[in-house]
Amino acid sequence: MAATSGKIVQNVFVSQSHCYYQQSRQFNSHSERACFAPYMRNSLPSLPGKLPWTSNTSMQLRNFSKPNNHFIIRRNIQCNASASATAVPYLDKTDFLRLQNGSDIRGVAVDGVEGEPVNLTEPVAEAIAAGFAAWLLEKKKADASQNLRVSIGHDSRISAKLLQNAISRGIAGAGLEVVQYGLASTPAMFNSTLTKNEAFLCPVDGAIMITASHLPFNRNGFKFFTNAGGLGKTDIKDILERAADIYNQFTAESLANSERKASSSIKKVDYMNVYTSDLVNAVRKAAGGLEKPLDGFHIVVDAGNGAGGFFAEKVLEPLGAITSGSQFLEPDGLFPNHIPNPEDKTAMKAITKAVLENKADLGIIFDTDVDRSAAVDFSGREFNRNRLIALMAAIVLEEHPGTTIVTDSVTSDGLTTFIENKLGGKHHRFKRGYKNVIDEAIRLNSVGEESHLAIETSGHGALKENHWLDDGAYLMVKILNKLASARASGIHGGSKILTELIEGLQEPAFSIELRLKINQNHPDLKGGSFREYGETVLKQLEKSIGSDPNLRKAPVNYEGVRVSGYGGWFLLRLSLHDPVLPLNIEAPSNDDAVKLGLAVLAAVKDFAGLDISALEKFLKSP
Ligand SMILES: O=P(O)(O)OC[C@H]1O[C@H](O)[C@H](O)[C@@H](O)[C@@H]1O
């Protein structure tokens, strides 16, 4: 974000040419807050903190062991001389818009990583929450007197608690009711807009999840929901623009006021109990009402120290499953074991090892905020990426013969053959991005084409029967239903039934994703955007493959340039968020993949603003 403006009045703790003030949250009374006009920077605890999963789902930062108290009680606050006018350093609208990442907000929330200055400060978060409140009031055609309710949850990140409090101030300051859930999953937050249960203060009118998915520990961000689903790009932009205006009008008095309102009005609810009961009931129902339909099944969970640890204790165990050997269930925002990401090879290796070592029937792995998942069968065979899609398609197509399965753009040709020829469904390969595939499935239904599943190779997936909720835990529930109902009808053999469901899925011998970076400052961009530049590269590629008799452009394609040849295919497209052209190649052999790679190289090599080193490295490798 832009450098700070305004003179420095407090000069107690000086760092990096900024002025910081040490503040204890304990003495953060209204007057002190008003006086300090805080612009806070979060700092990195020096040791990892283990945070237990508790039934009240509240992650307490004070649980950090001794040296980490630095993080909790000593915060660095940048002070601004003109506090009475604007209580925070001026930030541009573009500073706020830079925090947009598709339909999410993402930024750096913790100091300590070189070259990554904090831009998701507490006042910025407070302004974004106030922007969301204003947006919600307008959407619901309500005014602040109508007491709209907003739920707030977070994953295991070390900046979660501070951001939760800042967000709460923004919502409460706008006159809305705040309900904090503590540690929660992203799908549970959306679910809270749909649940009808006044005892748990549901449904809420809006929900905010504080998460940056699988990104490194220093990042954080927000996802927003109403009962219509996750907010889209346009709404996020709108909220950020409102936030910029609100932020620059913060006065010491307005900040104190929101603090006062928040401290007197925040409610806390153990909503994860409601959400997990729904999951448990869904499996019991599918098994004909059996109380413990997973009795005797041994299922290990790997939550990667994210928010998904609840699944073992609160879903599998009540259903009768044995969960010994489950790992990394305790929240730890430094993610010391592996990245919580089912697309990550190390993460998949970790859960596979746990399944094999424990001789378990099944392994389940989640990303940090549990909107993505993958599984592993008894033999160590991974159900992620195309295989997870094939498995979910097989389950859904048994229930809804002929239905259309919407997937992202990087799915294999073999998956199409499997869905269409073996399962009798229709494969609609659309664009990358979970929101894109979900919205496309909803659109298809609205124009009369039945679709019950929208799913990405990333492990995001949503079903029509579950309100198109993007929910990694619900995908696993569908798999558990299959195990439980097979058992109920006398079929034994653990997760073999799942393995059999994807028999016949042809998989490429060779598969790779290379990410070609666009250098945004390169003169070859001629001042234009990286998107424009990327589009030019794609046009050139399209032109050049037209003259190669070995290559054929995909007849139907919604994103980038997808081309078949040499028994395989490649797709070059623009990343959803980054100045990057991801290149996916699948082929029957390394040699064929190289031939496809060479065709791409020939078309893109003269674009000086494109970093093709990843492609060259691949082509040179033996
Ligand atoms: O376009 P890319 O950079 O490959 O990123 C694409 C991915 O971005 C995010 O992680 C979204 O959550 C995914 O749904 C999407 O698939």
Asked if residue 375 belongs to a domain, the reply is yes
Residues 440 and 473 in one domain: yes
pLDDT tens-digit profile of 257-277? 999 999 998 999 999 999 999
Residue 60: Cβ-neighbour burial (10 angstroms; 0-12, 13-18, 19+): middle
Distances (CA, A) of 401 to 289, 395, 411, 551, 577: 25, 10, 21, 34, 36
Residues 406 and 548 in one domain: no
Residues 96 and 206 in one domain: yes
Judged against a pLDDT cut of 90, whether residue 577 lies above it is answered with no
User: 192 Cβ partners below 8 Å, 6+ apart?
Assistant: 151, 181, 202, 203, 204, 207, 271, 275
- For tokens 């407070």, the residue is 126
Q: What is the mean pLDDT of residues 470-490?
A: 92
Asked if residue 349 belongs to a domain, the reply is yes
Instruction: For strands 39-41 and 75-78, give the pairing.
Output: antiparallel
In sign, the C-alpha dihedral spanning 170, 172, 177, 180 is positive
Instruction: Look up residue 226 and give its two tokens.
Output: 């109403």
Residues 282 and 415 in one domain: yes
What count of Cα atoms within 13 Å lies in the side-chain half-sphere of residue 557? Answer: 19
What count of Cα atoms within 13 Å lies in the side-chain half-sphere of residue 82? Answer: 12
Task: Calculate how far, in angstroms, residue 588's C-alpha sits from the geometric centre of ligand 1.
Answer: 26
Asked if residue 202 belongs to a domain, the reply is yes
Distances (CA, A) of 333 to 219, 353, 458: 10, 23, 21
Q: Which ranges in 49-99 belong to alpha helices (H)?
A: 69-73, 93-97
Which of 329, 384, 323 lies closest to 358 in space, CA to CA? 323
Task: Calculate how far, in angstroms, residue 410's C-alpha sits from the geometric centre of ligand 1.
Answer: 11
Q: What is the mean pLDDT of residues 398-416?
A: 98
Task: Calculate how far, in angstroms, residue 221's C-alpha sits from the geometric centre of ligand 1.
Answer: 15
Asked if residue 5 belongs to a domain, the reply is no
Q: Which of 230, 251, 269 is the last residue of a domain?
A: 269
Instruction: Look up residue 551 and give its two tokens.
Output: 């290559």
Phi, psi (degrees; rounded to nearest 5) at 228: -90, 0
CB within 6 Å of ligand 1 — which residues?
A: 408, 432-434, 456, 458, 460, 575-578, 582
Residues 476 and 608 in one domain: no
User: Which atom of ligand 1 has the smallest separation from the CA of 436?
Assistant: 14
Task: Calculate how far, in angstroms, residue 591's C-alpha sits from the geometric centre of ligand 1.
Answer: 28
Asked if residue 4 belongs to a domain, the reply is no
Instruction: For strands 206-210 and 149-154, give the pairing.
Output: parallel
108 membership: H or E segment, kind and range: strand 104-108
pTM (2 d.p.):
0.87
Alpha carbon nearest to ligand 1 atom 9, residue? 433
CATH of the domain at 561: 3.30.310.50
Region of poorest pLDDT, from 38-47, 113-122, 586-595: 38-47
Judged against a pLDDT cut of 60, whether residue 351 lies above it is answered with yes
Neighbours of 93 (CB within 10 A): 14
Task: Calculate how far, in angstroms, residue 6's C-alpha sits from the geometric centre of ligand 1.
Answer: 38
Asked if residue 7 belongs to a domain, the reply is no
DSSP string, 396-431: HHHHSTTPEEEE-TT--HHHHHIIIIIS--EEEE--
Q: What is the mean pLDDT of residues 441-452?
A: 98
Q: Which residue has the higher pLDDT, 409 or 10?
A: 409
Total domains, the chain: 3
Cβ–Cβ < 8 Å for 279, 316: no
Region of poorest pLDDT, from 32-41, 309-318, 389-398: 32-41
Instruction: Look up residue 474 and give its two tokens.
Output: 């619900």
Task: Calculate how far, in angstroms, residue 576's C-alpha sits from the geometric centre of ligand 1.
Answer: 6
pLDDT score, position 494: 79
Alpha carbon nearest to ligand 1 atom 11, residue? 433
User: Which atom of ligand 1 has the smallest separation from the CA of 573?
Assistant: 1
Cβ–Cβ < 8 Å for 393, 536: no
Distances (CA, A) of 108 to 23, 156, 159, 161: 21, 15, 10, 15
Distances (CA, A) of 414 to 496, 509, 586: 21, 11, 10
To test ligand 1's pocket by mutation, which of 458, 460, 512 has the most ligand atoms within 8 angstroms of CB?
A: 458
pLDDT score, position 87: 84
The SS3 call for residue 258 is helix
Residues 161 and 39 in one domain: yes
To test ligand 1's pocket by mutation, which of 222, 388, 389, 432 has the most ligand atoms within 8 angstroms of CB?
A: 432
pLDDT score, position 141: 87
Alpha carbon nearest to ligand 1 atom 10, residue? 433
pLDDT score, position 490: 78
Residues 358 and 465 in one domain: yes
pLDDT tens-digit profile of 513-558? 999 999 999 999 999 999 999 999 999 999 999 999 999 999 999 9
Residue 540: Cβ-neighbour burial (10 angstroms; 0-12, 13-18, 19+): middle
To test ligand 1's pocket by mutation, which of 367, 430, 574, 576 has the most ligand atoms within 8 angstroms of CB?
A: 576
Alpha carbon nearest to ligand 1 atom 8, residue? 433
pLDDT score, position 85: 58
How far from chain centre, in Å, is Cα 348? 18
- For tokens 């603090």, the residue is 259
Q: Which of 442, 476, 501 is the last residue of a domain?
A: 501
Judged against a pLDDT cut of 60, whether residue 42 lies above it is answered with no
- For tokens 């040791």, the residue is 47
Distances (CA, A) of 134 to 130, 171, 224, 300, 593: 6, 9, 13, 43, 51
Judged against a pLDDT cut of 50, whether residue 29 lies above it is answered with no
pLDDT score, position 47: 39
To test ligand 1's pocket by mutation, which of 577, 580, 581 has the most ligand atoms within 8 angstroms of CB?
A: 577
Which of 300, 387, 375, 309 lies closest to 342 in space, CA to CA? 375
Asked if residue 6 belongs to a domain, the reply is no
As a whole-number percent, the residues of the chain with pLDDT over 70 amount to 86
User: Which atom of ligand 1 has the smallest separation from the CA of 458?
Assistant: 16
Q: Which domain holds residue 475?
A: 275-501
Distances (CA, A) of 578 to 100, 343, 515: 11, 18, 10
Judged against a pLDDT cut of 80, whether residue 234 lies above it is answered with yes
Q: Which of 269, 292, 308 is the last residue of a domain?
A: 269
Asked if residue 2 belongs to a domain, the reply is no
Residues 218 and 352 in one domain: no
Q: What is the mean pLDDT of residues 453-480?
A: 97
Task: Calculate how far, in angstroms, residue 432's C-alpha sits from the geometric centre of ligand 1.
Answer: 6
Residues 265 and 282 in one domain: no
User: 526 Cβ partners below 8 Å, 6+ apart?
Assistant: none
Task: Calculate how far, in angstroms, residue 344's C-alpha sits from the geometric centre of ligand 1.
Answer: 14
Instruction: Look up residue 25 and give its two tokens.
Output: 């949250």
When computed from its CA atoms, the radius of gyration of the chain, rounded to whole angstroms, is 25
Instruction: Look up residue 284 and give its two tokens.
Output: 């019991």
Instruction: Look up residue 295 and give its two tokens.
Output: 């009795």
CATH of the domain at 440: 3.40.120.10
Q: What is the mean pLDDT of residues 181-189?
A: 98
Task: Calculate how far, in angstroms, residue 456's C-alpha sits from the geometric centre of ligand 1.
Answer: 9
Residues 441 and 483 in one domain: yes
pLDDT score, position 84: 43
pLDDT score, position 146: 74
Residues 258 and 337 in one domain: no
Q: What is the mean pLDDT of residues 399-427?
A: 98
Residues 574 and 606 in one domain: yes
The SS3 call for residue 620 is helix
Task: Calculate how far, in angstroms, residue 399's C-alpha sits from the geometric centre of ligand 1.
Answer: 29
Judged against a pLDDT cut of 50, whether residue 186 lies above it is answered with yes
Judged against a pLDDT cut of 80, whether residue 229 lies above it is answered with yes
